[in-house]
Chains A and B, each alone.
Chain A
Amino acid sequence: MSGANKPGQGVLAALVAALASSKVRVIDLTQTLSPEFPQISLPPEMGQCWPFRIEEISRYDERGPGWYWNNFSCGEHTGTHFDAPIHWISGRELANNSVDTVPVADFVAPAVVIDCHDQVAQDPDYLLSVEDIERFEQQHGRIPAGAWLLMRTDWSKRRDPAAYQNYDETGQHTPGPSAEAVRFMIEQRHVLGFGSEAIGTDAGQGFHLRPPYPCHYLMHGTGRYGLQCLCNLDQLPPTGSVILSAPLKIQNGSGSPLRVLALVEASQ
């Protein structure tokens, strides 16, 4: 053990003390995994992501008198989940592109939260624009490199699965970033990744953008990550929060359900 700090006086000790005194609070950004929570739906002839399903093994009964436990099944992209670069064809050749090889330091990272909930209330197909990001920076300063950019839409407050999915005959209508905003985030601000409250990082109509699904194609093609089905983004400050987002260590996994936590400092 060598280090500049004596035990109890380092940064981590300060963090522990701040947590104990609620100067730093922990906020859960995770939707509960339940069979009712909708999963992404592809055209039925394609392969599908499994929804979350749970079956009792025993519950203090003849199947196991002293214990209660379940088996569950789901896909790598069920519920609140992490997208690794290998998820998309554009990121398939990158180094360390799967959830088991992504550098673990990336699972603890700062975040900025851009509030679009007013726009989304008017237009479920709302696309986060470069102007939105620039306006945010005028107020809150430049987005630091290596930060998550989280798009607050309050979409997670749609508790009814049909309203959350928001399908009509032309497909899904949920918000996401424009292709230009994705490029700006990557090339100009070097973000770590993009996070969304809707079921995907791309907008519901993202297939019709250029390129199709720009957030997946461009973010993963440049080694960035995705977080989706987040909630409680309305409890985060625009800047200054720290996101803990470690996916399951699935060998060669393209993503994983996970518990996403945010550390925020109590407002002065």
Chain B
Amino acid sequence: MSMPMMHPKRKNPILRTRVMNLPPSARGRVALGLTAAAAEGRLMLQVCMRCSAVQYPPREACARCLSPELHWHDQTGEGELLAVTILRHSNDLYFRERLPWRIGMVKLDAGPTLIVHLHGDVGEAPSRVRVGARLDRSGQAVLIGFPEQEVPHMADDSVLRDMTSDPKFRKVLVTDGKSPVGQAVARAMVKAGADIVWVGVAEPWKKPPGFDELLALPQVTAVPLDVTDSRSVQTLGGELGGKVDIVVSNAEVHRNFGIGSRPGTDSAREEMEVNYFGLLRLSQAFGGALKARAADGPASACAWVNLLSIYALSNFPPHGTFSASKAAALSLAQCLRAEMRQAGIRVINLFPGPIDDEWNQTMPPPKLAPAAVASAIVKALRDGVEDVYPGEVAQEWLERWRENPKVLERELALGGAQP
């Protein structure tokens, strides 16, 4: 088993903060299929539609029969570790800073032979392993050989911890600590071993149920943060930016209006002000500080989580202006990801279906409990994925959207609102 990670020592403040040297990130267009799957935590390989060969590395045509008809399919990753070697020298800056580095050759039961990074709990060859795809610090897919069976403290392995964003021993900012989701996320972070959880408080004169109990947790500290107020965001960024390792941008406004059901723009503007401009303000105030600390030891800055909505993919007309604000936020989150990726910070987008809160009161179940949203966030951080669609509704919408976005749009417009 992996040695459980010990609490990192305090940083020596007279030493320079190391900067991030990213692992090699160049990939061809075809190879990005592997990355797209890894972004959701899946291992997918190309399968030839004509001769059924499973192939790796990804190519334009089947290496066996030259057919261009290749489809990406999920793989179990089970296979045989054939050989292990230890890299003791590398001219690549990322690996140079992390030597020695174990790599192995695995023959998948499905056919192809792969070179993979090895989890510390994988022993010598020959042995059975399970290959998984993960995003590395450059945001590109890499293959990792895991032990066939789960072992304790697997997440603490140094290879894995470098690629994931485990909240353990990290400091987390939850931008809205008062909402049901915010409270659940804060609690989940504490449970996941976060050192400090700062929870943002806007409009301090409004106190929701459960908030005092949350603040009673020793790891949790309330901080003034109103994402509609640039000065408030900048002030907190100045105060805490250099300490926050994980930002959970969960502040949102959700109203149940389309275009015709609400005169004027006030509630739509409120949604945009929080859901879109709030994210922009936060990104400007905290993004730079996170990027600067991406290689700051074993509890470095590592991730940014956005609470979006499955409605960001396709407008849900009864919640039309909310959908539009989340679509805007998704677009901005992609920009944020592009900027943060260059520094080695993971941006995770969460696309939940209806959450069981005040603003979905009239929605029929299934609805996602706030605690389920929180678990999905912690799991995403631990698994190192980029895109998460928690819950049945989100999964079904995603499937339908991938199948045919136009059909989904038309179904939603016809009032076939809920899948």
List residues of chain A with CB under 8 Å of any chain B CB.
Answer: 35-36, 38, 41, 45, 47-48, 51, 53-56, 161-162, 164-167
Contact = CB atoms under 8 A, between A and B. Distances in A.
A38 B270 contact: no
A51 B270 CA distance: 11
B206 A41 contact: yes
A34 B205 CA distance: 16
B348 to A, nearest CB: 28
Contacts, number: 35
Contacts of A38: 203, 205
Contacts of A161: 204-205
B207 A35 contact: no
B204 A162 contact: yes
Nearest to B231: A35
B202 to A, nearest CB: 10
The 4 A-B pairs at the shortest CB distance, nearest first, are namely A165-B205, A35-B229, A162-B205, A162-B204
A195 B232 CA distance: 30
28 contacts: A35-B226, A35-B231, A35-B232, A36-B232, A38-B203, A38-B205, A41-B205, A45-B255, A47-B264, A47-B266, A47-B267, A48-B266, A48-B270, A51-B228, A51-B229, A53-B228, A53-B230, A55-B230, A161-B204, A161-B205, A162-B204, A162-B205, A164-B205, A165-B205, A166-B205, A167-B205, A167-B206, A167-B207
Nearest to A56: B230
A53 B205 CA distance: 18
A196 B203 CA distance: 22
Given A47-B264, A166-B205, 20 more contacts: A35-B229, A35-B231, A38-B203, A41-B206, A47-B266, A48-B266, A48-B270, A51-B229, A53-B228, A53-B229, A53-B230, A54-B231, A56-B230, A161-B205, A162-B204, A162-B205, A164-B205, A167-B205, A167-B206, A167-B207
Given A47-B264, A47-B266, A47-B267, A41 B228 contact: no
Interface string B228-242: 111110000000000
A53 to B, nearest CB: 6
A244 to B, nearest CB: 30
Interface string B368-380: 0000000000000
A35 B273 CA distance: 14
Contacts of B207: 167
A36 to B, nearest CB: 8
Nearest to B256: A45
Nearest to A38: B205
Interface string B262-288: 001011001000000000000000000
Contacts of A48: 266, 270
Contacts of A53: 228-230
Contacts of A165: 205
A75 to B, nearest CB: 10
A53 B229 CA distance: 6
A36 B231 CA distance: 10
Interface in B87-111: none
A41 B203 contact: yes
B112 to A, nearest CB: 53
Nearest to B232: A35
A36 B266 CA distance: 20
A79 to B, nearest CB: 14
A45 B359 CA distance: 10
A38 B203 CA distance: 8
Contacts of A41: 203, 205-206
Interface string B209-235: 000000000000000001011111000
A266 B255 CA distance: 54
Interface in B140-198: none
A55 B228 CA distance: 10
A233 B231 CA distance: 30
